[in-house]
Amino acid sequence: MTFHDDSINFLGLALVLLLCFLSPATFAADYISSTLDGPFVPVTVPLDTTLRGKAIDLPDTDPRVRRHVTGFEPEQISLSLSSDHDSVWVSWITGEFQIGENVKPLDPTSIDSIVQFGTLRHSLSHEAKGHSLVYSQLYPFEGLLNYTSGIIHHVRITGLKPSTVYYYRCGDPSRHGMSKIHHFRTMPVSRPSSYPGRIAVVGDLGLTYNTTDTISHLIHNSPDLVLLIGDVSYANLYLTNGSSSDCYSCSFPQTPIHETYQPRWDYWGRFMENLTSRVPFMVVEGNHEIELQAENKTFEAYSSRFAFPFKESGSSSTLYYSFNAGGIHFVMLGAYIAFDKSAEQYEWLKKDLAKFDRSVTPWLVVSWHPPWYSSYTAHYREAECMKEAMEELLYSYGTDIVFNGHVHAYERSNRVYNYELDPCGPVYIVVGDGGNREKMAIEHADEPGKCPDPLTTPDPGMGGKFCGWNFTTSGKFCWDRQPDYSALRESSFGHGILEMKNDTWALWTWYRNQDSSSKVGDQIYIVRQPDICPRHNPLVNHF
């Protein structure tokens, strides 16, 4: 039998097409699952026991945490977004902190807060002025050391163009105290077709050698924005004299108050400056930021050191706020401030979501520190009261993705609402695996003998009330197997990258510290389905 060349070409093309349809495994290495393929059968990645014992803090002698400026030159420079693309906050510290029994705060009015900026490196033709402050961490107990910070500056620069590189330097030119020139890129304009290139998401960082690996990998991925989902410096694992422990309550049960060693905040700011001075960081508080001190003050370091767009977003507190980044509306919620339906935060959230417009920002991404959906024994169902108060509201507005920390492991959920699989529920992602010294969570509540006593689960920092009455289908407080809502869980340190591809498809990638910078630990497309999921259900009672 004889074939002509055209017949051979036709048969070859047909064979290739047939293989494409009949042999998907041939292309499995390139295929990335999407939430449209779910819900997924729960998977637990086996524990690598060699990784658990490496969470050691950087010492204060490490050159990366030492002070390298003199006089009133700026240090610990950081950026954060305002409510939209046209403004950015620049923050920094001048002067040295003091720690001792008797400390005298620096005068914040003694030096100006100025940012010079422009689109050309050698022509910083614009100038903005801001405000400065000093905070103290005071303990009215004999033998405990007090702390007062350097002068913290916050300047909001406005009138910026979208998706534009700006150069800047900060300080006080009259005091010969200006920084070197840094740069950043503004967010794209808010509309369905424009998004930041890459958004890094990380939680529970601390300042350990694991942290340095996390940040090194994160920088390699060139993010345009970073979300830090609580638990920043872990200064509260230290006594005021600098002694420390992986477990404060285990090692220091007799202290008259939960002490902190505030210089760890300065060490963290110095180590992070190479990244925070050029990529905006959006931070939400965790339990390690509470830091109770004299006069029952809390969150002083957190609220003083970072700039937040809380006023721009109509909030009265640094503990909760919102902002836009291209076509994404981000909501950062506070778990350690009142959140029930009569609270100011809940009222603010209702108003913020009522203004949320998917024709401008199609994606709704919400973050807070302690997870509602985690199958680990650590902090199991600890945030149940917050879930009970807010889950219905977030679901009714079609929240797409939720990021949490707190549990020191990685876990990604199937779409879920009220513990039931739901194609319109959010995907919950726990990234409390940034590298802190408390080590990884490794026990699961569904393992034999690992289910905690229900009455031990409430967190005093969240009100201490028990709300876990919504038991499993078997009538127990814990599942007897990995819950259906848990798609993937793994005890490893790492970080994630979120990339919005368009107004309905987003790529989520999780990277593990033990892998090369380019190797993927978990990856999935998160797909919005506005045709089957209502944007807002007016019948739900939010009052």
Show which residues are catalytic.
379
In angstroms, the CA 293 to CA 146 distance is: 10
**Angle, CA 362 vertex, CA 387 and CA 190 arms, to 5°:** 115
Residues 350, 320: Cα–Cα separation, whole Å: 13
Say how far apart CA 120 and CA 166 lie, in whole Å. 7
The beta-strand segments (E) located in 333-400 are 363-367
Nearest CA to 85 among 172, 157, 181?
A: 157
Beta 225-228 vs 199-202: how paired, if at all?
parallel
Task: Give the gyration radius of the chain's Cα atoms.
Answer: 25
Q: Which residues contact 369 (CB under 8 A, 6 or more apart)?
A: 203, 229, 230, 231, 284, 285, 286, 287, 335, 336, 404, 405, 406
Distance between first and last Cα of the chain: 80
For 149-273, strand residue ranges (E) read 151-157, 165-172, 177-178, 182-185, 199-202, 225-228
Distance CA 160, CA 303 (A): 25
Question: Amino acid identity, residue 260?
Answer: T
Instruction: Determine the Cα–Cα distance for residues 485 and 523; give it in Å rounded to an integer.
Output: 17
467 exposed, middle or buried (CB, 10 Å; 0-12, 13-18, 19+)? middle
3-class SS of residue 498: strand
Is-contact 384 467, C-beta < 8 A? yes
Whether the CB-CB separation of 273 and 64 falls below 8 Å is answered with no
**What's the DSSP call for residue 144?**
P
The span from the CA of 362 to the CA of 174, in Å, is 46
d(CA 391, CA 463): 18
CA-CA distances (angstroms) from residue 328 to 191, 194, 199, 364, 378? 9, 9, 11, 6, 31
Place of tokens 């920043």: 232
